[in-house]
Structure 1
C-alpha cells in the first residue's frame, strides 16, 4: 500500500477462488469502498482517502473485457480478502492482527454474505463504510478495540469499570457517549455486585443513538451517527472525542493508554506532519479489475549486437 499526497494506491482486494461467481460481490465491493473512502477522509481530518483500489477476480470466474491481466497480485498478498466464514467469527468482518500496538494487521477478512446482504450487514454492524474505517484502523495503524468483548482467541475485555472519579462507567473512549446498562438477555436493569460494585456478567452498555454528543471513536461504536473521527489526547481538540485513558479496554492496555491518534501520529502516514490536510473535490476511488490468465507469456530476447555476431562467427 502506498500513501502519497493523501492518496492511498496499490490497495489490493482479492476474492477467493472457491467463492461462487457472483457479480454482486464486485459491485458491492465498489460501493462499500467508495463509501469507506469518504468516511476515511473525514475521520483522518482530510488527510487520507482511497485513490486506487485493485480487485483481483478469481481465474475460475467468467472472463470479461474490462478485466486486466494480473501480474504479481495474488489472494495471499491481498490487503482485503473476500473468503468463506471463519468458524470463530462467522460472517463478522475482522482483521487478523497478531502484532503489538502500532503494528499493521495481516489482512482484512470479509465474507460474501457480509458484502452482498446489505440489510444483514447494516443491521448487525452499521454503515458499511464506517465499519471498514474501523477495520482499517486495525489493518493499517495497529489500533485496538475500545469496547469490552470476549475474544474468540482467548481472554476477555471488561464492559464496565469503576472510575476513580465518576463511579461505575461503561468501557468506552469518549465519556460523552451516552447510554444505559441493561441485561443483554432480559433487557432488565443490571444487578450490581455489592462487593465489586460491578454489574452482572450479562450486563451490556446500550448507547443512546439519538442523544449522543460523542464524535469519537471509530474504534468504539463506529455505527453511531455522531461518530466522525478517532479519539485523540489533545486538550485543545474536540472534547467530544477526547481519549479516556482510564477505561480498561484493549487499546489502553496494548498501547500503554495512548489514544488512537497518538498511535496514528507515529505511523509513516502521519509522522512529522506527513500528508497534511488537503481539500479535494472527490474521494471516489478508481477501481482496477484484475484476473489471472491461463496463458503463459514467453518473452525472447535476441542479442543482435556486433560483439554477439563476432562471437558466433568465431564459433562457426
Structure 2
C-alpha cells in the first residue's frame, strides 16, 4: 500500500497549493499576490485577455485602497502564464521564473472550466468567519468580455472578493429562494431587501425573467435598485455596482443591523467592517492610511515551467496481497487518462528487484493512451 500513500500525498499537495501566498508589509502593501491562469486555458486572443486582466487588477487595487481608507492595498501581482503558452506571442510578456521568484500558492485562479460559482468572480471559502479563504475563482469568460465592467463596477466587485479572501468576510446580502440567507425580510410590516446599507434602498422587485410586479413573500423575486439612491455610501459587500458604495458600513452607519445577510448569519451579527478592523492584518499595519493616495500596482508576468511527473510503481509480489495491485493500477490509469492536465510531461517507472522505465517523460497531450497502457498489467 506504500504507493497508494504516494498518490494521496500528491493530491494533498495540490490542495495545499491553493491559498494565500501574498505577504503584507507594515506600510499596508500586499505583494506577491499570485494570479494563475489554468494550464488548459486556450491561447486564442491571449494578448487581449492579458490586457483586460491587467486593467482589472489595477481597478481592484484602487478599490481596495479606497475601501480601506488607504490602510491596505495590493501593490504587486504575479501573473503565472500556462506553460502551454510557450512559443505564443503572449509568452514574450513573461519570463521563466528564477529561484528567487516567489509564488507558491494561488490567490486567484483563472480557468475556463464549469462555472460552479457562476459567471462572475467568487471566493472559495471553506472556513468560517474571519478565516482566510482558499482562492478567488475568476472565469475566463469574465475576462474575455469586459463590456459590462463599467456598469458593474468590476474593480469594486473584485475588491470585495479580495476582502473575502484575505479577511474572511461574506456577502452582505441574501439570495433568491435561499432558506438560510433569504433575499428579503419583514420589518414592522414592510418587506425589505436583504442587504447592509446606510439608508433604505429605492428599487423594484422583479421576477427572474425581469417581469413586474413580483411579491417576494409569495414567489421568487430579485430586487433591482432604481431611483434616487444618491445618499447610499455603503456597503461594498451588497451593492458595489452603485457609484456611491465604496466602503463597508460601520456599525454606526448601518440603517438596520438585523438583515439575514450571509455575513450576519455566519459571523453572528458582526459587520464586515468590524471583522476587518479586528483582523490580524490591521494589527500588523502601522499608520491609519490615506484614501487620497494613488493605488497603482505593479503586475509581473512569469511563464510557468512545464510540470514533470514520474509515477513510480512497486510491482513486487507483495502487491498481490489484498488485491493492492488491482486498485493501484486503476488509480494510475485514471490519473493518466483523465485527471492530469494535458500540458505536463509524465513518465512511468516500475520497480521490484530492479527498476524499469516503462515509458520515458513525454508530453501527456499526445500520449495519454500509450502512457496508461504502459502501466504493468500485474505485479511481477
Quickly name the TM-score band, shorter chain normalised: 0.7 to 0.9
Correspondence for 1:94 among 109, 116, 122: 122
- Asked if residue 247 in structure 1 is aligned to residue 259 in structure 2, the reply is yes
Unaligned runs of 5+ in 2: 1-21, 309-380
1:135 corresponding residue in structure 2: 161
Q: d(CA) in 2 for partners of 1:66 and 1:251?
A: 40
Please state how far the C-alpha of 1:187 moved relative to its aligned partner.
2.8
> Relative to structure 1, is the Cα distance of residues 60 and 275 closer, same or farther in structure 2, using a 3 angstrom cutoff?
farther
Q: Secondary structure at the match of 2:224?
A: strand
> Relative to structure 1, is the Cα distance of residues 295 and 115 closer, same or farther in structure 2, using a 3 angstrom cutoff?
closer
Correspondence for 1:258 among 262, 266, 270: 270
Q: In 2, are the aligned partners of 1:173 and 1:244 still within 8 Å (CA)?
A: yes
Aligned residue pair count = 279
Q: d(CA) in 2 for partners of 1:97 and 1:290?
A: 27
State TM-score, norm by structure 1. Answer: 0.79
State TM-score, norm by structure 2. Answer: 0.66
- Asked if residue 178 in structure 1 is aligned to residue 178 in structure 2, the reply is no
- Asked if residue 69 in structure 1 is aligned to residue 69 in structure 2, the reply is no
- Asked if residue 6 in structure 1 is aligned to residue 6 in structure 2, the reply is no
1:307 corresponding residue in structure 2: none
Unaligned runs of 5+ in 1: 192-197, 297-316
Q: In 1, are the aligned partners of 2:176 and 2:222 still within 8 Å (CA)?
A: no
Please state how far the C-alpha of 1:257 moved relative to its aligned partner.
0.5
Please state how far the C-alpha of 1:267 moved relative to its aligned partner.
1.4
Q: d(CA) in 2 for partners of 1:177 and 1:271?
A: 33
Q: In 2, are the aligned partners of 1:172 and 1:244 still within 8 Å (CA)?
A: no
Q: d(CA) in 2 for partners of 1:210 and 1:71?
A: 54
2:246 corresponding residue in structure 1: 228
Q: In 2, are the aligned partners of 1:157 and 1:249 still within 8 Å (CA)?
A: yes
1:40 corresponding residue in structure 2: 64
- Asked if residue 29 in structure 1 is aligned to residue 57 in structure 2, the reply is no
Q: d(CA) in 2 for partners of 1:230 and 1:259?
A: 8
Q: d(CA) in 1 for partners of 2:75 and 2:214?
A: 47
Q: In 2, are the aligned partners of 1:190 and 1:199 still within 8 Å (CA)?
A: no
Q: d(CA) in 2 for partners of 1:218 and 1:88?
A: 23
Q: Which moved more, 1:271-280 or 1:252-261?
A: 271-280
Q: d(CA) in 2 for partners of 1:161 and 1:202?
A: 13
Please state how far the C-alpha of 1:81 moved relative to its aligned partner.
0.7
Q: In 1, are the aligned partners of 2:81 and 2:303 still within 8 Å (CA)?
A: yes
Q: Secondary structure at the match of 1:60?
A: helix
Give the alignment's Cα RMSD to 1 decimal.
2.8
1:79 corresponding residue in structure 2: 107
Q: d(CA) in 2 for partners of 1:178 and 1:130?
A: 19
**Deviation sequence 1:70-114 (CA, Å, 0-9, x none):** 258799821001101434334221111111001111000111110
Q: Secondary structure at the match of 1:17?
A: coil
> Relative to structure 1, is the Cα distance of residues 287 and 209 closer, same or farther in structure 2, using a 3 angstrom cutoff?
farther
Q: d(CA) in 2 for partners of 1:150 and 1:74?
A: 41
1:301 corresponding residue in structure 2: none
Q: In 1, are the aligned partners of 2:119 and 2:141 still within 8 Å (CA)?
A: yes
Q: In 2, are the aligned partners of 1:56 and 1:70 still within 8 Å (CA)?
A: no
Please state how far the C-alpha of 1:42 moved relative to its aligned partner.
0.8
Q: d(CA) in 2 for partners of 1:182 and 1:150?
A: 11
Q: In 1, are the aligned partners of 2:52 and 2:144 still within 8 Å (CA)?
A: yes
Please state how far the C-alpha of 1:199 moved relative to its aligned partner.
2.3
1:195 corresponding residue in structure 2: none
Correspondence for 2:283 among 260, 271, 284: 271
Q: Secondary structure at the match of 2:164?
A: helix
Q: d(CA) in 2 for partners of 1:150 and 1:70?
A: 45
